Chain A
Amino acid sequence: MTLNQLTAHEVVDSIKKKKITACEVMQDIFNQIDKVDNLIKAFLVINREEALKQAKKIDTKVKNGEELPPLAGVAVAIKDIITTQGTETTCGSKILKGFIPPYNATVINRLKEAGAIIIGKTNMDEFAMGSSTENSAFGPTHNPWDLERVPGGSSGGSAAAVAADETFVALGTDTGGSIRQPASFCGMVGLKPTYGRVSRYGLVAYASSLDQIGPITKDVTDCALMMNAISGHDNMDSTSVNLEIPDYLKSCQAGIKDLKIGVPKEYFIEGIDPEIKDALYRALKIFEKLGAKVEEVSLPHTEYSLPTYYLIATAEASSNLARYDGVQYGYRAEEYEDLSSMYQKTRSEGFGSEVKRRIMLGTYALSSGYYDAYYLKAQKVRTLIKEGFDKAFTKYDILVTPVSPTPAFKMNEKVSDPLTMYLSDIYTSPINLAGLPAISINCGYSKNNLPIGLQIIGKHFSEETILRAAFNFEQNNDVGKRKPLIKPAKYKEAAE
């Protein structure tokens, strides 16, 4: 076994106990990247030298007997939508090619303070718009479990990198499911925190009222470890909430006896893959075995979630992405006649088709004469959806649902049909609309050996509860943990 296959908490432990060094860890990480990333294509940028420099510093600390920070020596991959000072940040878009931010996102500073080593930036759907990472301007990322399949999206690069043992943990962002869905497609743990729990400063906005940064990890303990590092109030983000952060590692330790679990019946729609359904029911039995009470619950406005999400998200996006105009930074069309032609050409050439589609949708929804019928109505439905969850949470501690109606789908399968692609977000987007925390963990595998995910939704700021439920489930899941076998031969064959 190579060191890159460890979990983050195992790495920190072993470095502290001087069993391994941070430099050795980095060697194995970069060896793996060299070995598999030409197949996976999870990374857009790799910070090899800087990472090794940081690893040396940690080893010196160990040598000097200094106290180590909680993520000492842990390799972290960062979704390329989070700004990193001095390192190109493109959001998977041609329009930001060459943009080097002069500042770090708050989460980057927090990870660095916690001793984590940023090894690179990961691929994603352009501006986080997509569910397959096929919408990247720099080519798609492949699912380590089956290279012909997508890793999910939009944080597909982050999820694939963790699953392929190219990093221990990664940061993703989740606007409508972009952490949870790729985590489930890649068999990893992904957490979307409560809106306001993690600072958005330095997260390049897609839909500001929905976006959250969260971790993608190999297990729940690592997820808790990451949440300890990145959570908490930030003066630079007005929407970040000033609440005390519990020690999430500790909160995992308690049991879940008498935990009340609601299972929303509206989530078992037509078109859900029977294997997903089966895996979920099996999982619910495990929860019951652990002493939790499982009941069916109704979330009546579920069917409106997706249209509501696509109105609000695109409306905000149309405004957030207006700044990419070729004036200050990033791509500018080479030939243009005047200001308006510079704008038009720059944006026509710089953005991909899905981004353009969503900008058009959102612009339309906000236009004078349509605002009330679309944006305003969507905001009202959003309130109803939120109230539906609030009501369910008066009776239940957590809600358990599938993450996605299907396991990872084949590449190019849905690209030409955006509406089917949008359905990938059906179980995840309502949670963003309500601002709730939710975690996606593996609960089994399909016959094709594809991971299946389970979503645990909690009350606002109850990350400790969903982490505890997830941890208990993980410890008692009888399916067993598998690692993907990255098979280049098969992939090559298929490609030929």
Chain B
Amino acid sequence: MKEEVVIGLEIHIQLMTKAKIFCHCSTDYIGKEPNTNTCPVCLGLPGSLPVLNKKVLEFAVRTSVALNCKINQVSRFHRKNYFYPDLPKAYQISQYDTPLGINGYMEISLSESKEKRKIRITRVHIEEDAGKLVHEGDITSSSYSLADYNRCGIPLAEIVTEPDFRSPEEAQIFLVKLRSIVQHLGVCDGNMEEGSMRCDANISLRDAKTGALGTKVEIKNINSFKAVKKALQFEVDRQKRLLAEGEKIIQETRHWNESKFITISMRSKEEAHDYRYFPEPDLLPLKVDLKMVDKIRKNLPELPEARRKRFIKDYQIPEYDAEILTSSKSLGDYYERAASLYTDKKVLSNWIMGELLHNLNEEKKEIEYSPISSESLVGMLNLMDKGVISGKMAKDVFEKMFKTGKEASQIVKESGVTQITDENELIKIVDKVINENPKSVDDYNQGKEKALNYLVGQVMRHTKGRAKPDFVFAAIKQRIKKL
């Protein structure tokens, strides 16, 4: 049997409203002393009642509209009942049969074939986040757990896709684009590592010929963009292997183990929760004013798709560059800030996509935390253009800037290493190299172009790379001619 991969995603994004979803506590909870960012409402104390923060609705509508969803004019909150110590009411206020947004889609372009794919969005709904349990050591061996409720009541939007992905790569491309969209919308910072964006996936294999669906497995705890592809690929391989061995795939929930790079079974279908959903009696049905939706739609900020097109048009950079530069809001902002200060937009994008992203990736840093600002990068490029440093030197200077956070000019000043701009001095060195390498000169005269490169290299060696290569190149040719 030839199998086809079928993947659907469920993504939770934390909405960046100032206050929590049902109380006035702040959403700025990371790093706070445990259980200090709480009140009777988000602690679910007896007698407390939820009141919806209207901003949450606005943010969720913005998200739904950007994902081309239809907005239900009346949606409802439901209670999802289950026992767990991080859930102080023992139910999560969520949406069930009437979510806020339905039937949307997002287009992604596949990296190799450039083929465009429409991924259908089943629904977008609002719910509250739970707290966090802190275990002594490992969850399986810990003798106790501590509960921190600071995260309780952080507003979430859950985005559910149809099972439209045919490979782990597609799911990853979707996720990267979704992150960029929610960042551009200003509704979520999209930080998977910190948990402000979380992803669960449903995976099954289906018979490519008959289309018969396979058993689906849910993968939880995928908490980085890199893990998405790895976890999904692991699961695809696992299922394929099982089928090849004639085994059956069990419907279950599996946990992605980030350190071991495997998925581990959490619970089977038989152990699945019965959440006993029912309409939340403490909240009124959620009515959405169509005028508000229209207003939000009209005032949507520029989204990555449009920004990408604008980059291609305004900055005359290749589509590939534009795609990468708009893959996160901050990266796009970084580029645009630099582009406003520097004429050669392509050189800029080369440096950002090359040196900068490379260095950031090495240190697992987001562009927001880049030690080199757009302005500093442009400062360095200006030094290069003025010939103070060569392209090769620039790379070293860049590394130093990245490590120290200093400006290029300062680094150049401190090391005293600048490009030799005095042409007479350079000519002297050129003449010296020509005198010392008569064989190469002969070779060149006999038409061996490579010999010229060798001579240039020698000049660079003498100058410790401080010579302007263009000038040296021209000077050698000229001096040989004059011989």
Contacts and interface: CB of A to CB of B under 8 A. Distances in A.
Nearest to B52: A238
B91 interface: yes
15 contacts: A101-B46, A103-B47, A200-B49, A204-B47, A205-B46, A239-B281, A239-B284, A318-B81, A322-B91, A323-B44, A323-B46, A323-B89, A328-B43, A328-B45, A328-B147
A339 interface: yes
B47 A105 contact: yes
Contacts of A325: 83, 85, 90
Contacts of B147: 327-328
Contact of B282 (A82, A96, A208, A322): A208
Interface in A307-326: 315-316, 318-319, 322-323, 325
A89 B46 contact: yes
A83 B83 CA distance: 24
Contact of A83 (B44, B47, B91, B276): B47
A209 interface: yes
Interface string B93-117: 0000000000000000000000000
Interface in B39-82: 40, 43-52, 79, 81
Given A99-B46, A205-B47, A323 B274 contact: no
Given A208-B282, A325-B83, A236 B49 contact: yes
B379 interface: no
Interface of A: 82-83, 89, 91, 96, 99, 101-103, 105, 200-205, 207-209, 235-239, 315-316, 318-319, 322-323, 325, 327-329, 339, 343, 363, 366-368, 371, 375
A154 to B, nearest CB: 16
**Which of under 10, 10 to 19, 20 to 34, or 35 or more describes the interface residues of B?**
20 to 34
B88 A103 contact: no
Nearest to A208: B281
Given A238-B49, A239-B281, A328-B44, 14 more contacts: A89-B46, A99-B46, A101-B46, A204-B46, A235-B51, A315-B278, A316-B278, A316-B281, A322-B91, A325-B83, A328-B45, A328-B88, A368-B276, A371-B278
Interface string B408-439: 00000000000000000000000000000000
Given A82-B47, A105-B47, A319-B79, A366 B85 contact: no
B104 to A, nearest CB: 28
B446 to A, nearest CB: 85
Contacts of B282: 205, 208, 238-239
Name the prevailing secondary structure of the A interface residues.
loop
Given A238-B284, A366-B276, A322 B83 contact: yes
A339 B85 CA distance: 9
B281 A201 contact: no
A173 B403 CA distance: 67
B45 A237 contact: no
B213 interface: no
A311 to B, nearest CB: 11
Given A209-B281, A239-B284, A325-B83, A101 B276 contact: no
Contacts of A204: 46-47
A91 B274 contact: no
- Indicate the member of B40, B43, B81, B278 with the most A CB atoms within 10 Å: B278
- Indicate the member of B46, B52, B276, B281 with the most A CB atoms within 10 Å: B46
A343 B85 CA distance: 10
B283 interface: yes
B47 A323 contact: no
Contacts of B281: 207-209, 239, 316
Given A101-B45, A201-B49, A238-B51, A322 B88 contact: no
Contacts of A237: 49, 51
Query: Can you list the 7 inter-chain pairs with the closest CB atoms, starting with the nearest?
Result: A322-B90, A366-B276, A208-B281, A209-B281, A204-B46, A202-B47, A83-B47
Nearest to A330: B46
A368 B274 contact: yes
Contacts of B40: 101-103
- Indicate the member of B40, B50, B88, B276 with the most A CB atoms within 10 Å: B276
Interface in B15-54: 40, 43-52
Interface in B154-170: none
A255 B52 CA distance: 43
Nearest to A312: B281
A208 B88 CA distance: 17
